[in-house]
Amino acid sequence: MVIAGDFKNGVTFDMDGQVMQVIEFQHVKPGKGAAFVRTKLRNVITGAVIEKTFSPTDKFQDAHIERKDMQYLYSDGDLYYFMDMETYEQIPLNSDKLSDSFKFVQENMVCKIVSYKGNVFSVEPPMFVELEIVDTEPGVRGDTATGATKNATVEGGAVVRVPLFINQGEKIKIDTRTGEYLERA
């Protein structure tokens, strides 16, 4: 059981059949009246964010979110296939379970499959990936003092902003959470 008075960032619990995660919380003890807990919650299945106030004695059932490493194998239309590396079991997932950052994932990369009570609701790609640039325009000589960037297409078709000195054929490291170039690989 989770008690509202014990809320911390990242705690997940079941509220009215919905799996909620605490994003922010604040214990408030006004001069008059009873104490309360002001929270900002995210529905982990839908991604919706709500603000709600609780009594510190409110109790909720724990919601255990399972994260399992699985290898991305291939896609077939709208289905994306992942393999459990321990049991070699393959599971197909619809494209609606994939985030925008999945565009950086290549075949055979390991991703985290996130589920609740056996139902997969999200796929988390690795935080950082190294990909080769397949298309970019050459940098203009003498235009490096401004810290300017240009578009570069990486393996898989994703477009990333890179510094002018990066050329086609080079491998770069990308943060999949933000889609930003980090460094040469």
Do 73 and 26 share a structural domain? no
In terms of residue numbers, what domain contains 79?
Answer: 65-124
- Asked if pLDDT for residue 81 goes beyond 90, the answer is yes
22: CATH:
2.30.30.30
Cα 173 from Cα 168, distance rounded (Å): 14
Q: Which of 15, 43, 62 is the last residue of a domain?
A: 62
Do 152 and 100 share a structural domain? no
Q: Which of 23, 40, 62 is the last residue of a domain?
A: 62
- Asked if pLDDT for residue 5 goes beyond 80, the answer is yes
Please give the structure tokens belonging to residue 177.
Answer: 């959470």
> What's the whole-model pTM score?
0.71
Over residues 48-74, the pLDDT tens digits come to 899 999 999 999 998 888 889 999 999
**pLDDT-based confidence at residue 31 (cuts at 50, 70, 90):** confident
Do 31 and 49 share a structural domain? yes
Q: Which of 41, 62, 83 is the last residue of a domain?
A: 62
- The DSSP 8-state label assigned to residue 126 in this structure reads P
H or E element, residue 52? strand 49-54
H or E element, residue 113? strand 110-116
Q: What is the pLDDT of residue 141?
A: 64
- Taking residue 106's Cβ as centre, other Cβ atoms within 10 Å add up to 14
Q: What is the pLDDT of residue 140?
A: 64
Do 57 and 28 share a structural domain? yes
Q: What is the pLDDT of residue 123?
A: 85
120: CATH:
2.40.50.140
Q: What percent of the chain has pLDDT over 90?
A: 24
**Region label for 124, one of left (φ > 0), alpha (ψ between -120 and 50) or beta (otherwise):** beta
Q: What is the pLDDT of residue 110?
A: 92
Do 108 and 85 share a structural domain? yes
Do 108 and 93 share a structural domain? yes
